[in-house]
Amino acid sequence: MLDAHTANPGDVSWAEFEAIAPCEIHPRTPLAETVARCAGAQVVITNKAPMTREIIAALPALKYIGVIATGFNVVDTVAAKERGIVVTNVPGYGTPAVAQHVFALILELANHVGHAAASVRDGGWVRCPDFCYWDHPIIELQGRTLGIIGYGGIGSAVARIGAAFGMKILASKRSWKEKPPAGIEAASVEDILKHADVISLHCPLTDDTKHLINARSIELMKKDAFLINTGRGPLIDEQALADALNAGRIAGAGLDVLSVEPAKTDNPLLTAKNCLITPHVAWASREARTRLISACAANVRAFLARKPENVVNP
252: which strand partners?
226
Q: Assess whether pLDDT exceeds 90 at residue 177.
A: no
Superfamily for domain range 15-93+286-304: NAD(P)-binding Rossmann-like Domain (3.40.50.720)
Angle at 246 between CA 241 and CA 250, to 5 degrees: 60
pLDDT at 129: 96
46: which strand partners?
67
| pTM score, whole prediction | 0.93
Catalytic residues: 232, 261, 280
Q: Mind listing the pLDDT tens digit for each residue in 52-109?
A: 999 999 999 999 999 999 989 999 999 999 999 999 999 999 999 999 999 999 999 9
Q: Mind listing the pLDDT tens digit for each residue in 227-249?
A: 999 999 999 999 999 999 999 99
171: which strand partners?
148, 186
Q: Mind listing the pLDDT tens digit for each residue in 188-229?
A: 999 999 999 999 999 989 999 999 999 999 999 999 999 999
Domain regions of the chain by residue span? 15-93+286-304, 95-277
Q: What does residue 184 show for φ and ψ, rounded to 5 degrees? A: -110, 125
Determine if the peptide bond prior to 96 is cis (ω within 30°): no
Q: How far is CA 162 from the centre of its chain?
A: 18
Same fold, 15-93+286-304 and 95-277: yes
How much is the average pLDDT of 124-130? Answer: 96
- The terminus-to-terminus CA distance of the chain in angstroms comes to 23
Q: Assess whether pLDDT exceeds 90 at residue 33.
A: yes
Q: Are strands 252-255 and 184-186 parallel, antiparallel or unpaired?
A: unpaired
Q: Mind listing the pLDDT tens digit for each residue in 178-198?
A: 889 999 999 999 999 999 999
What is the architecture, at CATH level 2, of domain 95-277? 3-Layer(aba) Sandwich (3.40)
